[in-house]
Amino acid sequence: MNYSILLKFGEITLKGANRAYFENTLLRQVRYRIKPFGKFNVFKSQSTICVEPADDGCDMDAAYETCKKIFGVIALCRAYETEKNMDAIEKTAAELAPVLLGGAKTFKADARRADKSFPLSSPEIAANVGGAILEACPHVKVDVHDPEVTVRVEIRDEKAFISGGQEKGAGGMPVTTNGKALLLLSGGIDSPVAGHMICRRGVKLEALHFESFPYTSEQALEKVRDLVRIIAGYNGAVCFHTVSVTEIQEALMKNCEEEYFTILLRRFMMRIAEKVAAERECGAIVTGESLGQVASQTIEALNVTNSTVSIPVFRPCIGLDKEEIITRARQIGTFETSVLPFEDCCTVFTPRHPKTKPTLENVLREEERLDIDGLISRAYEAKKQEWIKESLYE
Ligand code: ATP
Ligand code: MG
């Protein structure tokens, strides 16, 4: 049976004068994201977005699954269409009772009439529908105060709709409503998770990856592209930048103490990232760092890395354990790709004994042996840029 999808928006309803902007952004994103699954009518009605199939060719289940991933939607449910008379409404409610209840043991029925000329009042409609459901499923009970599921009947101008239990949506805020940030994306587990957390706050992501060809391979880069495709699944198309740090790494090897390689490389990454962020109008940098996870993620090392940039650096994984990060990576579908065994530029020339408590003074002394500006501008000038979409939209 065909159904419509009802999307509830959360926090964005609190945004006062900006409310229309948030809602319209969400509407546009819903339309864009479900486009591959057919022709739909998507419109706003009270504080709900309705997604109706415009013809019989719509894949409603695929659209529903996609809507579950759209940030800014706090809850969603399926609404089944029936003719606008009590017989049809009760019959549909009884037939769909198991689906509407979704395994719940208690429910209540609620009705709303947009069409006030409908012969029954809202409480009467609710009572009849509740009765029909009880008859179909005698094991469930009505609980008007604290029901597990509320079955809703809506009498609109042309048709009636019946909806059941709501499912949790992706939450957060619609992407782009909080500006743009640049995600430093390695091939690892942490950075895609960090990107997801920031994107969920309404931030559109661009991604920057540092490769070290020929020390890192084309396959390693392709794996990162695969991660970007998954990110595009909740972010929309991603502008993906790649910068080679080969010359920088070779300069480090030639001129600097081995124990400082990683921290020096990270300072180069941050400086280049800040340039890309400025060019692309990204207001912040996002990384997957987690406190104490490796030598370059101690408070001392993070301070030394951070002092190269002046825009905010968001590190949403900072307080998460590896286990928690892995759980999130599984939920967002990046884990399997992240653990594919390809080398990363950070793992090439890894010092045997990295400095865990570097001081800025010592790091600056190491950097005196390098042509920092020249290395950065050559790396930056050779930057490559491509747009990557989720596979569905290619
Ligand atoms: P991840 O699992 O994200 O690779 P990690 O635990 O391996 O993180 P590091 O290798 O120290 O930690 O990297 C810390 C952060 O620096 C990464 O989360 C990422 O944001 C950024 N980063 C590291 N390597 C790269 C790279 N090759 N390209 C872009 N960003 C990188
Ligand atoms: Mg890594």
- What spacing in Å lies between the alpha carbon of 279 and ligand 2's midpoint? 25
Count of helix runs (H) and strand runs (E) in the chain: 13, 15
CATH T-level assignment (fold) for domain 4-168: VC0802-like (3.30.2130)
Instruction: Look at residue 354 in the predicted model and tell me its pLDDT.
Output: 84
Half-sphere exposure of 46 (CA within 13 A, CB side): 7
**pTM of the complete model:** 0.88
pLDDT band at 15 (very low <50, low <70, confident <90, very high): low
3-class DSSP state of 273: helix
Please check whether residue 306 is in contact with residue 270, taking contact to mean a CB–CB distance below 8 angstroms.
yes
CA separation, residue 126 to residues 14, 89, 151, 161 (Å): 30, 11, 9, 13
C-beta 325 within 6 A of ligand 1: no
Instruction: Look at residue 143 in the predicted model and tell me its pLDDT.
Output: 95
DSSP per position, 40-92 = EEEEEETTEEEEEESSTT--HHHHHHHHTT-TTEEEEEEEEEE-SSHHHHHHH
- What spacing in Å lies between the alpha carbon of 354 and ligand 2's midpoint? 15
pLDDT higher than 60, residue 13: no
Strand pairing report for 204-211 and 180-184: parallel
Give me 181's structure tokens.
């940030």
DSSP per position, 144-155 = SSS-SEEEEEEE
pLDDT digits (tens, 9 = 90+) for 258-295: 999 999 999 999 999 999 999 999 999 999 999 988 77
pLDDT higher than 70, residue 152: yes
DSSP conformation class of 173: B
How much of the chain, in percent, has pLDDT values that exceed 70? 97
Give me 300's structure tokens.
């001392």
pLDDT higher than 70, residue 125: yes
C-beta 210 within 6 A of ligand 1: yes
pLDDT higher than 70, residue 336: yes
C-beta 189 within 6 A of ligand 1: yes
Q: Which of 190, 213, 297, 323 to mutate to test the pocket of ligand 1 (most atoms within 8 A of CB)?
A: 190
C-beta 295 within 6 A of ligand 1: no
- What spacing in Å lies between the alpha carbon of 346 and ligand 2's midpoint? 7
- Tokens 């549909």: give the residue: 92
3-class DSSP state of 382: coil
How much of the chain, in percent, has pLDDT values that exceed 90? 81
Ligand nearest to the CA of 339: 1
Please name the amino acid found at residue 244: S
Rounded Cα distance, 217 and 224, in Å: 11
The overall average pLDDT reported for the chain is 92
Instruction: Look at residue 157 in the predicted model and tell me its pLDDT.
Output: 81
Rounded Cα distance, 59 and 181, in Å: 33
pLDDT digits (tens, 9 = 90+) for 302-326: 999 999 999 999 999 999 999 999 9
Instruction: Look at residue 353 in the predicted model and tell me its pLDDT.
Output: 84
pLDDT higher than 90, residue 347: no
Query: Which is nearest to 104 in space by CA: 161, 171, 170, 166?
Result: 166
pLDDT band at 11 (very low <50, low <70, confident <90, very high): low
pLDDT band at 241 (very low <50, low <70, confident <90, very high): very high
pLDDT higher than 60, residue 233: yes
pLDDT higher than 70, residue 378: yes
Per the DSSP assignment, residues forming a β-bridge with 107 are: 142, 149
Domain boundaries, the chain: 4-168, 180-393
Do domains 4-168 and 180-393 share one topology? The answer is no
CATH H superfamily, domain 180-393: HUPs (3.40.50.620)
Rounded Cα distance, 203 and 181, in Å: 7
Angle between helices 246-255 and 261-279 (to 10 degrees): 150
